[in-house]
Structure 1
Amino acid sequence: MNNTIVVGIGEALWDVLPEGKKIGGAPANFAYHVSQFGLDGRTVSAVGEDKLGTEILENFYEKKLYSMIERVPYPTGTVQVELDAEGIPCYDIKEGVAWDNIPYTSALEGLAKQTSAVCFGSLAQRSVVSRETINKFLDAMPEGNTLKVFDINLRQGFYTKEILCNSFKRCNVLKINDEELVTVSRMFGYPGIDLQDKCWILLAKYNLKMLILTCGVNGSYVFTPGNVSFVETPKVEVADTVGAGDSFTATFVAALLKGMPITEAHRLAVEVSAFVCTQNGAMPVIPDYLKERMK
């Protein structure tokens, strides 16, 4: 195992789908895919002292997914997921749950000090406890070449301008999709310009190393100061899109940490994400032919 520690911090929950329940939450999806590329992926979250919480811990153990998951006196998170005709998920996310109450512990601070890259979103920041834990974790990470990836993941109404602004300032890589970019630019007051110009504005305003813009079937972009990479989205038979974005982020981060150039990391991330779309669920095993590209 490569000893580069990569952390997904935030929600751990059950997606309750029409056909049954599946473990969900972007942080676990992200950490799992990172670990498939040989890095030390860890999930940080909280679950309840209940059967659903025990099942999450057992599932991560079976997947050999290392985690720092506290048990807290709140119910384990659940999300009712319904898929529309195109396989696109709609979410009903329960509130006042365990992952809203992730405690900041000395063990977590110790982990932060060893972390090379972290991915966090806006959803787990809806409650003050988890928001403060995420902020303290980011602050405790080493100075220098660490990657702090804000995968914005806007869900329902669980975000505010203040939370987004603070996260933009604390991250150095922003990942956003085209719909989220429209929402953000309305909130921040530059709605009239095209998507690429919005990306350049955010990149400069928040002094980001990179901004990743995904546009579904219309491809994806990676903006860095003075440069942009574009990769078309492959046409595949979609089973469901759950977790595809997390696999993209995980692959991209792992590739950068292993020294791949941005354009190659971007291309591989697109191919892995397209593969995940052909599979059911968020955590399929990535085939060897894709893993071997990251040697």
Structure 2
Amino acid sequence: MDKKSLVVGIGELLWDVFPDHKQMGGAPCNFAFHASKLGLESLAISAIGKDELGDEIIAKLDGVGLIYDIQRVDYPTGTVKVTLSGDGIPQYEICQPVAWDFIGMKSDYEEIAKQTTAVCFGSLAQRGDVSKATIRSYVNAVPDSALKIFDINLRQQFYSQDLLVDSLKMCNVLKINDDEIKIVARMFGLQGDDQENCEELLHRFQLKMVALTCGTNGSYLITKGETSFRETPKVKVADTVGAGDSFTAAMVVGMLKGKPLNDVHQMAVNLSAFVCTQNGAMPEYDRVEYI
């Protein structure tokens, strides 16, 4: 693997089951997919079951050309029941326990971690002790000079203040949405508005950046010296599944390329808007349009 550009998503891999179809999903693997589409060597790390749904995931990953290290374990492949509101906003019902709760720390992961220039992880896959231990071991083995992105991804009851504190201490970039910052603010006793609370988290945990996405109300990239705001483009929404993950991937690609903050932000906004016009989290597209 290219030691200069290895980008890793580690965590949940599953089927989002809609009323009339299913789509492969899971934020860390969606992130790895989009980073690969944008030209970086990317790796998805997760676990699936020894079942037909797991076989279908492998076929799908092979079909989109994503490099992966997917363990087969004695638990069912993860599924999430997804219902969409009238404006395409997803609601999730997440099954437990499933395969991605049991991602083991393989013997070669520490060496792969040393080659990693950006790793994305979330809170959801840390709900089980096995995957939590692996994710933390992996992220802590990644060089301090790398980007360590915590895509907070609060779902159902699968998080706690202790989990969030531990993850914020491990990361140097936080990705959070406008619903999640309100929950975090209550947990941490933050008193400002959403942007001010993100700034407080940036300083409290000595982060390089906080990315705050606010749906149709725009998004912010916040650093210690600069803040960028971008309006959300008006597009015909098919569904918003995976849009945030594509935003994160484009943002990371821009940061790794050393682009100015406003350019990084515009790349992220453009790609996430495109993904909203497509069905599913891993649509086909030409990376040239976004970098």
Q: Deviations over 1:143-188 (max 9, x none)?
A: 3x20000010111111011000100110000010111000000011
**8 Å contact from structure 2 (residues 37, 287) kept in 1:** no
Structure 2: which amino acid aligns with 1:38? G
Structure 2 residue aligned with 1:166? 166
Q: Which moved more, 1:279-288 or 1:42-51?
A: 279-288
Gaps of 5+ in 2: none
SS at match of 1:129: helix
Unaligned runs of at least 5 residues, structure 1: none
- Alpha-carbon contact 1:68-1:108 (below 8 Å) kept: no
Root-mean-square deviation (Å): 1.2
- 2:123–2:153 CA contact under 8 A, matched in 1: yes
TM-score, normalised on structure 2? 0.97
Deviation at 1:259, TM superposition (A): 2.2
Code of the residue aligned with 1:98 in structure 2: it is A
Matched to 2:230, the amino acid is V
User: 4+ runs of 1 displaced by more than 4 Å?
Assistant: none
CA distance in 2, matches of 1:117, 1:142: 9
State how many pairs are aligned.
Answer: 290
- 2-structure distance, mates of 1:167, 1:231: 27
* Secondary structure of residue in 2 paired with 1:106: coil
2:213 and 2:61 map into 1 onto residues whose CA distance is 28
Residue 19 of structure 1: how far off its partner (Å): 1.7
Indicate the residue corresponding to 1:189 in structure 2: 189
Aligned to 1:238: 237
Q: What is the one-letter code of the residue matched to 1:232? A: E
Shift of residue 63, structure 1, vs aligned partner: 1.0
Shift in Å at residue 255 of structure 1? 1.5
- Aligned pair 1:204/2:203, yes or no? yes
Q: Answer with 198-207 or 250-259: which moved more.
A: 250-259
Structure 2: distance between partners of 1:115 and 1:104: 16
2:16 aligned residue: 15
Q: Secondary structure of the residue that 1:234 maps to in structure 2?
A: coil
The match for 2:215 is 216
Measure how far apart 1:61 and its partner are: 1.2
Looking at structure 2, the residues matched to 110 and 203 of structure 1 have their Cα atoms a distance apart, in angstroms, of: 29
Give, in whole Å, the separation in 2 of the partners of 1:287 and 1:265.
18
Question: What does residue range 83-122 of structure 1 map to in structure 2 within 5 Å?
Answer: 83-122=84-123
- What is the rounded CA distance, in whole Å, between the counterparts of 2:285 and 2:121 in structure 1? 22
Indicate the residue corresponding to 1:65 in structure 2. Answer: 66
The secondary structure found in structure 1 opposite 2:235 is coil
**Is 1:30 aligned to 2:31, yes or no?**
yes
Take 1:251 and 1:279, find their aligned partners in 2: how far apart are those partners?
17
What is the correspondence of 1:74-89 to structure 2 with a 5 Å cutoff? Answer: 74-89=75-90
Give, in angstroms, the shift of residue 288 of structure 1.
Answer: 4.9
The answer as to whether partners of 2:37 and 2:286 remain within 8 angstroms in 1 is: no
**Paired AA for residue 247 in structure 1:** S
Q: CA deviation at 1:226?
A: 2.4
**Cα distance in 2, alignment partners of residues 23 and 196 from structure 1:** 32
Match of 2:177?
177
- 1:279 paired residue number: 278
